[in-house]
């Protein structure tokens, strides 16, 4: 990739599409990278554009501002682009980006439906520029250590993986778009694609069956927008069976403020168990069946993380890895196929809840 001189330095010129909460989070990440210059932003709404201006401060003077992402893509001011717009806009924006040779990092979920994700996977095959999907939970220090331990044999043959997220409700977003499943893909796609990606990453096999139970029992029950009531689930159990025999489970509650840990992840195998917690106490715990004893492994946020942010430094590391791949011309660590399969499980879980049955992944025509 050709570098461009910005303020006398050779920087990767990055544009950000969507400057709401996560867009501004990524602006802070990008501003913390020494070889990056944010040169363009796009958002159809004036308020998020002002948030970008406030986030960047004096650095905003070198930024081109657009209301239409297509104008940003055609401006000639960027070498790479980051998409952090609402979920339901991802497909149309990606269609335009994938018709170019501009590298892109797109926030999760890649798209809101399996069909749209498949379309993106097919489009990516015909271009050389990378597409990176923003599933940054992989890069949280305790979770990354758990993955390393499991893949390194700490539990023997993996048999079970359990993820618990007990947290606060969905935050307020621009125009309340995240209050409706038609915009988000549903809670188990919008929020939980992170966890289904982790399951796929740890298990290293394809899901074959999903069984789920969930509902909207506490949150947003009295919220109406334009006469329509919010319909997003606030709790669920999801069990996933994999082709290699491993079983996984998600335990989600979004009315559990004050929990000691927001996420608890446990992997159990034939010889041991690994436990990780977010936010944690700086340790991952490894238990051994034979001795019935355990040990702790210290973990910490990478000291090179310039912006810790909402995800304990993970989204900064994600941006750093994306930029490094753009500069080096290497492939994405988190591919469009990863984006697809994280959405497939969420979609199947919603179908299981809606139709009160187990759902075979074969119903989606995927292999």
41-84 pLDDT per residue, tens:
999 999 999 999 999 999 999 999 999 999 999 999 999 999 99
Average pLDDT of the chain to the nearest whole number: 95
Q: Of the ranges 154-158, 309-313, 316-320, which one carries the lowest mean pLDDT score?
A: 309-313
Say if residue 333's pLDDT is above 90.
Answer: yes
pLDDT of residue 312: 87
175 pLDDT exceeds 80?
Answer: yes
Rounded mean pLDDT, 220-240: 96
C-alpha span between 320 and 301 (Å, rounded): 14
CA dist 27 and 42 (Å) reads: 12
Instruction: Give residue 282's pLDDT band: very low, low, confident or very high (50, 70, 90).
Output: confident
What does pTM read for this prediction?
Answer: 0.95
The pLDDT value recorded for residue 330 is 96
Give me Rg for the CA atoms of the chain: 20
What residues pair up with 293 in beta bridges, in sequence order? 288
Percent with pLDDT over 90 in the chain? 92
pLDDT at 367 over 90: no
Ordered by where they begin, the domains of the chain are 4-136+319-332 (3.40.50.720), 138-303+341-364 (3.30.360.10)
DSSP per residue, 182-225 = HHHS-HHHHTTHHHHHHHHHHH-S-EEEEEEEEE--STTTT-EE
Q: Do the Cβ atoms of 316 and 305 come closer than 8 Å?
A: yes
In this predicted structure, what is the pLDDT of residue 5?
42
pLDDT at 302: 87
Residue 290: is its pLDDT beyond 80?
yes
Does position 32 have pLDDT exceeding 70, yes or no? yes
Q: What is the pLDDT of residue 252?
A: 98
Q: Tell me how far CA of residue 182 lies from CA of 111, 117, 187, 217, 340, in angstroms.
A: 12, 15, 10, 19, 18
Which pLDDT value is given to residue 1?
47
Q: What is the pLDDT of residue 8?
A: 41
Query: What pLDDT, on a 0 to 100 scale, did the predictor assign at position 6?
Result: 39
């Amino acid at each position: 990739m050709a570098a461009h001189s910005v303020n006398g330095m050779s920087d990767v010129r990055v544009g950000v599409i969507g400057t709401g909460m996560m867009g501004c989070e990524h602006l802070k990440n990008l501003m913390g990278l020494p070889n990056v210059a944010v040169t363009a932003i796009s958002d159809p709404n004036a308020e998020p554009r002002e948030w970008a201006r406030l986030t960047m401060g004096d650095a905003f003077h070198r930024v081109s501002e657009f209301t239409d992402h297509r104008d940003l893509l055609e401006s000639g001011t960027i070498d790479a682009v980051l998409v952090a717009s609402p979920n339901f806009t991802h497909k149309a924006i990606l269609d335009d980006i994938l018709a170019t040779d501009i590298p892109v990092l797109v926030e999760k979920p890649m798209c809101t439906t399996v069909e749209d994700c498949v379309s993106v996977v097919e489009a990516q095959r015909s271009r050389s520029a990378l597409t990176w999907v923003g599933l940054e939970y992989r890069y949280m220090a305790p979770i990354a250590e758990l993955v390393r331990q499991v893949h390194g044999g700490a539990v023997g043959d993996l048999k079970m993986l359990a993820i618990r997220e007990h947290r606060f409700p969905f935050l307020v977003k621009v125009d309340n778009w995240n209050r409706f499943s038609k915009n988000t893909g549903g809670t188990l796609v919008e929020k939980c694609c992170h966890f289904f990606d982790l399951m796929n990453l740890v298990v290293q096999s394809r899901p074959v069956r999903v069984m789920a139970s969930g509902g909207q029992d506490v949150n947003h029950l009295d919220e109406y927008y334009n006469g329509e009531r919010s319909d997003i689930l606030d709790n669920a159990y999801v069990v996933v069976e994999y082709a290699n025999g491993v079983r996984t489970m998600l335990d989600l509650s979004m009315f559990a403020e004050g929990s000691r840990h927001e996420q608890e992840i446990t992997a159990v195998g034939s010889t041991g168990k690994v436990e990780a917690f977010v936010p944690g106490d700086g340790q991952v715990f490894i238990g051994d069946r034979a001795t019935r004893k355990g040990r702790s492994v210290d973990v910490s946020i990478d000291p090179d993380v310039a912006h810790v942010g909402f995800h304990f430094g993970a989204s900064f590391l994600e941006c750093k890895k994306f930029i490094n791949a753009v500069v080096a011309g290497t492939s994405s660590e988190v591919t469009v196929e990863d984006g697809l399969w994280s959405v497939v499980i969420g979609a199947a879980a919603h179908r299981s809840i809606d139709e009160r049955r187990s759902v075979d992944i074969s119903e989606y025509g995927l292999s």
